[in-house]
Amino acid sequence: MRTHLRLGRLLGVPIGINGGVLLVSVLLAISLAQVSLPSIAPRHPTSAYWFGAVLGVVGFLVSLVGHELGHSYIAQRNGVRVAEITLWLFGGVAKLEGDADEPGAEFRIAAAGPAMSMVIAVLAGLSAWEIDQLDGSRVLLGLLVWLSAINVILAVSNLLPAFPLDGGRMLRAFLWRRSGRKRRATRTAAMIGQVLAVVILIAAVVLFFPMGDRWSGAWILALGLFLFVAARTQWRDAADRPEVLEHPVGELRRELPAPLSPRASVAELEAVLRTNPRAVFVPVLDERGAVGALVTRDAVARIPPANRASVPIRSLAEPLVALPRVHPAESVQDVVGRLGRGRSWWALVVDGAGVEGVLCSEDVDDVLDVAFA
């Protein structure tokens, strides 16, 4: 059941807003109109402060959407689909359909949000400077200064290495690249996230409540509790998964035989398959001398034995685009989540250097059957 209001779509991604944002928006407007703007730009009509407060709330929500759109855009560029963006009590969240298949993509996706917040902060700061030079509205100037500061805070706070914040995901990507194990990296990042959450909780109790700033203390206390629960959940999920689920699928790939010319006969293909009993595909070169297609073992059976010496394999070749692709560093869990378990499929194992081999669902299922036996 949907728990938020759908606002529309940006970059093809649905945007929604949770009811908790309305409460935050009202409290933020009151704070801007009665505290922040009067202190930045004193001696203005109350109506000017309230008008500026409404603009500030809109700018704040746009900033949250911009932060999540940064994640979404880079995620889509790295082959990760985005289900939706939702604004809720503690900010915004871009719901990704699956994880990045390698550490570099994970790092780029996580870093894109804070980077977008810093871009918004710079634009708001430059606009404030321009208004100051033109001796424009002090209320608008104060609003832009506040919006710039809010986006700096949004970027910096998200860079804390507390999983599942952006900084925690960047830390996980770094640890993942170093160890080659996403599960181990997740557990380490989630443990650090729990420690930082406890530090935040202690700071809320020790620093803010004794000073009488109960509102800030309560808000930071709630944020610390949320971070602790989220990090704890991620830590448990990673701990409950068998280690084999984090194995890179490159370890399970089947090597491809040496490629054949498209003019080679089916009889030559048959000879290659006899010397490579585990091979299911044989690569076929294109006009440029690169691997451009594959011929399956099953295709040989469709040609009568008497004709195999005269039929060229190009008539049986299937283009590479016909098969799904996986990265050799992608985990077994991520691939199974994307391509499925219990049904037959083949996927090309591809990295930046080209096709490394093929991945068979049968081989993956055998490994999972042993792990969950």
Q: What is the domain partition of the chain in residue ranges?
A: 4-244, 249-371
CATH level 2 (architecture), domain 249-371: Roll (3.10)
pLDDT on residue 31: 83
- Find where tokens 């190009």 sit: 314
What would the pLDDT profile of 256-274 be if each residue is shown by its tens digit?
888 888 888 888 888 888 8
> Per-residue confidence at 212, pLDDT binned at 50, 70, 90?
low
Token pair belonging to 54:
């409404």
* 156-160, 212-216, 243-247, range with the lowest pLDDT: 212-216
pLDDT on residue 90: 64
Q: What is the mean pLDDT of the chain?
A: 81
Task: Transcribe 193-239 into DSSP letters.
Answer: HHHHHHHHHHHIIIIITTTT-HHHHHHHHHHHHHHHHHHHHHHHHHH
What would the pLDDT profile of 3-32 be if each residue is shown by its tens digit?
567 777 877 788 887 777 777 788 888 888
> Per-residue confidence at 152, pLDDT binned at 50, 70, 90?
very high
Residue pair 111/170 in contact by the 8 Å Cβ criterion: yes
Say what the alpha-carbon torsion angle 81, 236, 115, 215 is, to the nearest 10 degrees: 120
Pairing type for strands 4-10 and 291-296 reads unpaired
> Per-residue confidence at 325, pLDDT binned at 50, 70, 90?
confident
Pairing type for strands 325-326 and 346-351 reads parallel
Supply the residues annotated as catalytic. Answer: 68
pLDDT on residue 281: 79
pTM of the model: 0.63
What would the pLDDT profile of 46-104 be if each residue is shown by its tens digit?
888 898 888 888 988 888 888 889 998 998 888 888 888 888 766 777 888 777 778 88
* Dist CA 68 CA 91 (whole Å): 10
Does the pLDDT at position 229 exceed 80?
yes
Burial environment of residue 134 by CB neighbours within 10 A (0 to 12, 13 to 18, 19 or more):
exposed
